[in-house]
Structure 1
Amino acid sequence: MSVREPIVLIGGFGSHWSDYRFAARALANISGRRVFIAGITRVTWMLAGLTDYSLLVDRAHAAISHALKQTGARKVILVGHSAGGIVGRAYLGDRTLKPHQRSYHGYERVSRLYMVGSPLRATRAALRRGMRAAAWVDETYPGAYYAPQVRYINVRSRYIEGKADGALRQREAYYNYRFISGDGAQWGDGVVPLALSELDGADTLELEGVGHSPGWGKWFFSDASVIGAWWRHFERGDAPSLNAAEAMA
């Protein structure tokens, strides 16, 4: 009997692995698969911000190796939230972020990469604002680089328009979008603008009314209705049952 591929979840920038415990349980119930969370903490992200994403890739590899050993599977399904999607793309590769670092050739161990609310591109204006890792990954492994061996899946949301003179949330979104893209007057999930959440060759689902992270109403990993909307869409081909009114309730 074949073993179901486990899921390994990589959290977003500045998060702690424990922030995703509810999401892991919900995703396990929805998918019928074992779910593991990469052991990345806020300190790990802080150190990565001072150097590069090498330590994050190492932690992702440790979680993937553990999941494969625990389940006996040959490959995992990798789910990266926000900057976790950048880490996932880097892990797939056969090149390193710095000399003498080990490359993991993760495309041999990953069947699908979900990039959920991830910044997938980096503009020149944003490179000095902490988007160097995204730029390096996109330049080194452009588009769905390891397809068809790995299926690239992009989940994004049209949640709020950034406006410099709008309501509080619109102003906050404006400054977030401007910080990572140079342009705040656009639509996105409150943190990542739609313009940076495009990847050639990836299967894309655009939700409505789903925020980027806690504090933005219902977000990508907030409850079973949201998680089920994007997971089942790609797993079974169902149209997502979530609408904007449900997401923002």
Structure 2
Amino acid sequence: MLPTVILPGYLESADVYLPLQQALTALGTPTTTVPLCKRDWLPTLGGRSMVPILRQLDRTINEALTNNQATQINLIGHSAGGWISRIYLGEIPYTIHGDVTESAKLWDARSKIATLITLGTPHISGERWTRKNLDFVNDNYPGAMYSDLEYICVAGKSIYGEKKRGQWLAYSSYQQTCGIGNTWGDGITPIEAAHLAGATNITIEGVKHSPRTAGIWYGSPEVRSQWIEYLK
């Protein structure tokens, strides 16, 4: 198999993805996680630029290609890591925050990626602090835009959002993301936001959003078996 790179979700550290990384490597796809820690996300707070994350993503992917003498990788983006990956793939310069020029070349990397797998990614959002970045993604790269790239979008169905104990967080998160609180999702991302038009869209029962949450998440053994078949 091709090597694989995992891009963590927002404010997540690479260490929580180690079990998934090790499991995928054991299956024959040498896997690396972008070596992020929580402080690496601090410059991006409040809807600011994702350039610091793109720099580390680009470095990790180039190292994976070199170390494995490969020309392409599989890219897995968890949560926000999925839509940040779509910025990386696209050819339009991500200069909307004024912190880099077109010479940065932290995008237009589609030729390096064989498959993009997103896990619980909010591909849409009504949150004011994410709109600038996500509007850039969806205005320029709507849906599964590139026909030469395979998109696999995985959603979890574990918590129905309601205004009552145990479901209030899900309700609030779903409402901020897609405008509807009374819907199904993984506790953070509603199903409809985790899918992309034109992609291979998968919904898995019982899956929760975070690797830190009690129960099963996207990287749990009984769940990952339903999407690893798409790795090239």
TM-score, length basis structure 1: 0.84
Task: State the shift of 1:130 in Å.
Answer: 2.8
What are the Cα deviations for residues 149-198 of structure 1, in whole angstroms up to 9, with x where unaligned? 11111111111100013x32x12211221233332211111000112122
What are the Cα deviations for residues 77-116 of structure 1, in whole angstroms up to 9, with x where unaligned? 0000000001111110112221514233111100100011
Matches within 5 A, 1:88-237: 88-98=85-95, 99=98, 100-101=101-102, 102-103=104-105, 104-122=107-125, 126-147=126-147, 149-165=148-164, 167-168=165-166, 170-213=167-210, 214-221=212-219, 223-232=220-229, 234-235=230-231
Separation of aligned partners in 1, 2:82 and 2:2: 19
Choose 208-217 or 97-106, whichever is displaced more: 97-106
In structure 2, give the amino acid aligned to 1:140.
N
Separation of aligned partners in 2, 1:157 and 1:131: 23
Separation of aligned partners in 1, 2:5 and 2:231: 16
Q: SS at the partner of 1:121? A: coil
CA distance 1:6–1:173, shift in 2 (3 Å): same
Structure 2 contact 127–176 (Cα < 8 Å) conserved: no
Percent of residue pairs identical? 27
Question: 2:65 corresponds to which residue?
Answer: 68
Task: State the shift of 1:216 in Å.
Answer: 4.9
Q: SS at the partner of 1:25? A: helix
Unaligned runs of 5+ in 1: 237-249
Matches within 5 A, 1:8-87: 8-30=5-27, 32-50=28-46, 51-87=48-84
> Number of residue pairs matched?
224
What are the Cα deviations for residues 31-88 of structure 1, in whole angstroms up to 9, with x where unaligned? x110011122212222112421122111111110000010000000000000000111
Task: State the shift of 1:235 in Å.
Answer: 5.0
Choose 188-197 or 65-74, whichever is displaced more: 188-197
Structure 1 contact 9–78 (Cα < 8 Å) conserved: yes
Structure 2 contact 204–223 (Cα < 8 Å) conserved: no
Separation of aligned partners in 2, 1:63 and 1:109: 12
In structure 1, give the amino acid aligned to 2:73.
V
Structure 1 contact 113–153 (Cα < 8 Å) conserved: yes
Separation of aligned partners in 2, 1:71 and 1:131: 37
* CA RMSD, Structure 1 to Structure 2 (Å): 1.7
In structure 2, give the amino acid aligned to 1:119.
P
Unaligned runs of 5+ in 2: none
Task: State the shift of 1:220 in Å.
Answer: 0.7
Structure 1 contact 131–180 (Cα < 8 Å) conserved: no
Separation of aligned partners in 2, 1:46 and 1:95: 25
CA distance 1:132–1:217, shift in 2 (3 Å): farther
Task: State the shift of 1:135 in Å.
Answer: 2.4
In structure 1, give the amino acid aligned to 2:130.
G
